[in-house]
Structure formats: structure tokens, C-alpha cells
Amino acid sequence: MSLHDPARPSEESPAERVFAARAGDLFQLLRDGRPWTRAELAGTTGLARSTVAGRVDLLMHSGFVVSVGEALSSGGRPPSRFAFHPRARTILAADVGASHVRVALTDLGGSVLAEERAQWPVSDGPEAVLGHVVDTCGRLMAEAGCPPERLAGIGIGLPGPVEHATGRPVKPPIMPGWDGFDVVGFVQAAFAVPVLVDNDVNIMALGERAGFWPDVEDLLFVKVATGIGSGIISSGQLQRGADGTAGDLGHVRVARGEGVVCRCGNTGCLEAIASGAAVARALAAEGVAVASGAEVIALAAGGSLPAVQALRQAGRDIGEVLATCVNLLNPSVIVIGGSMAAAGEHIMAGVREVVYHRSPPLATTNLRVVLSRAGERAAVMGASQLVSQHVLSPAGIEAALAGSAVGVG
């Protein structure tokens, strides 16, 4: 595994697909978490028993697979069972937001083992923010007694467009000093492991799906906060588009935004009328004393009718764009997350009202529009998922086996 080129695990060349019966390929069966006997593995794959035995030995030596007791037998010595061991390695997952940094230590299954959150403005620039991330990573590892060789990789979410192949931010609007910065190189100077970087909304979509909708193939995760964006999962795969900008909901034009200037320079963008900041601005202009989306939510919780109405209208505006998303993408689940999701039903009612009115019946029969369940942890869960997809892929496992084998403590 090259440190500088963490290719997406799903992109296997024909040569990689044909060069199989490797331990990394066999491991894909074991990823389902249930215990397998050698005979079951041989029966399912058609591989020779001796080949299976050798591969299982390799995987056990590496720690990725452990013996989990014995199966029932019709006679003779009962066969051993083997299963994926998520604690074989750890992952560091960092969620860099506009004004905070959250770092979590997880296992390969995405379970959070330790976590730290700090206020930290992304506008401090990459060295300061990533320096803090690296420090926190080291501290979490040390506190958990996790030796460096147990670290499988680091996943990082950033609040702006990222060129996924290189991990470099691309003209991020709210991240001064970050454009083109070598995030991977900076972090790898401290930790010599694969480092995968993506935009925060993309990894929130991955995290929400991995944690709560593992069987859903078409999911749209919408983040409503200071800005508005989305992460698109189609056919079970995160879709980044040709330049990594897919899912950019915030700058879709909506009718009610006519004439309202957006920070992107265009007029009529969804974000200019329905983000947390925009809702607060609109209420303030009506004479209600609010300075942020969070304050609007607090007012609404206290029963303020103007605040409730403003949130519901923001929901309708978001719903207008989501109705278009339903036409185009036909997801079965739309998840609303981000800080404004704390407004709960005030926003959801508006969203559902428009989506179910505007979208074609065939596309809404099985559609669910729900609040995020991962909540504040969606991004670190997704960053962990980004890494586990990479290191548990056939190529990732092979690379781990070729490197130093690590026993399970």
C-alpha cells in the first residue's frame, strides 16, 4: 500500500480481480462477522481445503481473524470456527469543522473507543489545525495503550471540497490557507499509515449509512448548518462526481431565493435563504433578536411562533431542492443532519410537505425522510469507515499481511 496514493478500495483493476484466492479475497467472506469453519469457507469458494487452511493461518497470524470456539460436529473432533476480529487494529478518525475538531479512536468495525472534541477555527490554517489533530491522535493512542503498529490508518473530514485522490483541499471557501495543502503528507510525517481525506458531508453520509442503514443502497445525507450540502450514496457507493463536487445542494436555485445574493456570488441559492445563518438573518430583519441558527432553534423550542414559522419555511425551501433530488437520484432514505437538524420536526415537517407533494408517486412510495441518528458523531464514524473500507479491501489486507504482522493483545 503506497502511503501517498490511497486509491479507492473499490477501484480494482481486472488484474486484481483475477489474481484471487489470496488471503485478502478470502477475508471478504469473513467480514460479515459471523463465524465460519474451514469447510464452509472451502465449500463456498470452491478453493482446496489446504489453500483455505493456509490463508486462514495467515489471517490469524495477522490478528484480523480469530478462533471463536468450535462448531457442532456429527462425530470426531469438532471443527474450529473463525471470525473477523474488529479489534485487530485501530483507526483514528478526525472531523474538522468550521469551528471545531473532533478526533476519535475506533476499531475496524467503527466502534468508538475514545474521543476528544475541541473548539478550533479551521481558519487558523492547516499547520495549526492539523498540528492539533496529530497531537490529539498521539494522546488518544497513548491513553488507550495502542502501539503505533496497531494503527491501520487515519481518516479526516474537512469542511470544503477535497480532491479525494490526493487529499488536497480545492479552493475551499471557508478555509483560508488550505487550498492545495498536502494534508496527507503533513499527517504522514507523524504517522506512517494510510491517510484518507474527504469532504465532511461525504463522510457523514458514509458514517450514517455504516451505522444505521447498512442495507440501504441509495441514501442521501443532507447537512444543514452554516452551509448546506449533501453526500450521495448510489448503488451502495459514495458518489463524488468527476471533480469531487457532487452533492452540492446549497447552491441550487430555489424560487423563493430570487434576488437574494449568496456568498458564492450567484443569486437565489438554497443556502442563501435556508441555512442556519440565513434563517437567523431573516428573523433579525423582522425584529426578532437572534444572531445564529442555534438561537433560532432555542427560540422555537421556547414556543416562539416567528421562529417556528421561519424553520418550517426553511424546511420547505430545502424540500423543494430535495424533491428534485428524488426525481434525479430516487433514494430510499433521505437523512437530515447537521446542527440545524436539532430543530427536529419544525424543519422536517416543511421538508416532508414539499417532497411528498412534488416528487413522483413511484419514487416516494418507499421513501423515508428522517433525522440523522449518528448526530454529532456522523463525521468521525464516516472517517473511520473511509479507512476500514480501504484497509479491509482485498488489496488492503494483502498489504497488511505483507507488512509486519501484529498479534492481538
Does residue number 407 form part of the binding site for a copy of itself (CB under 8 A)? no
Q: CA 79 to CA 145: how far, in whole Å? A: 34
DSSP state of 191: -
For residue 172, what is its C-alpha cell? 475551499
- H-run or E-run covering 197: strand 195-199
List alpha helices for 238-304, DSSP H: 271-274, 276-285, 293-301
Closest-CA residue to 7 (of 201, 235, 184, 191): 184
Does residue number 320 form part of the binding site for a copy of itself (CB under 8 A)? yes
Find the binder of a copy of itself among 4, 17, 49, 373 (CB under 8 A).
17
Find the binder of a copy of itself among 118, 237, 402, 403 (CB under 8 A).
237
Does residue number 174 form part of the binding site for a copy of itself (CB under 8 A)? no
Give the residue with the Cβ less far from a copy of itself, 123 or 330.
330
Options 121-129, 133-141, 322-330, 397-405: segment touching a copy of itself (CB under 8 A): 322-330
Q: Other C-beta atoms within 10 Å of 322: how many?
A: 29
Say how many residues make up the chain. 409
Find the binder of a copy of itself among 74, 119, 235, 404 (CB under 8 A).
235
Options 142-150, 190-198, 240-248, 307-315: segment touching a copy of itself (CB under 8 A): 240-248
Give the residue with the Cβ less far from a copy of itself, 126 or 161.
161
Find the binder of a copy of itself among 164, 251, 352, 377 (CB under 8 A).
251
Name 402's Cβ contacts closer than 8 Å, sequence gap at least 6.
none
Does residue number 47 form part of the binding site for a copy of itself (CB under 8 A)? yes
Q: CA 266 to CA 248: how far, in whole Å? A: 14
List alpha helices for 1-149, DSSP H: 14-18, 23-30, 38-45, 49-62, 126-143
Give the residue with the Cβ less far from a copy of itself, 25 or 95.
25
Residues in contact with a copy of itself by CB under 8 A are 10, 14-15, 17-21, 25-26, 28-29, 31-32, 44-47, 161, 170-171, 217-218, 230, 232, 234-235, 237, 239-249, 251-253, 255, 258, 264, 266, 320-321, 323-325, 327-332, 358, 360, 362-363, 365-367, 394
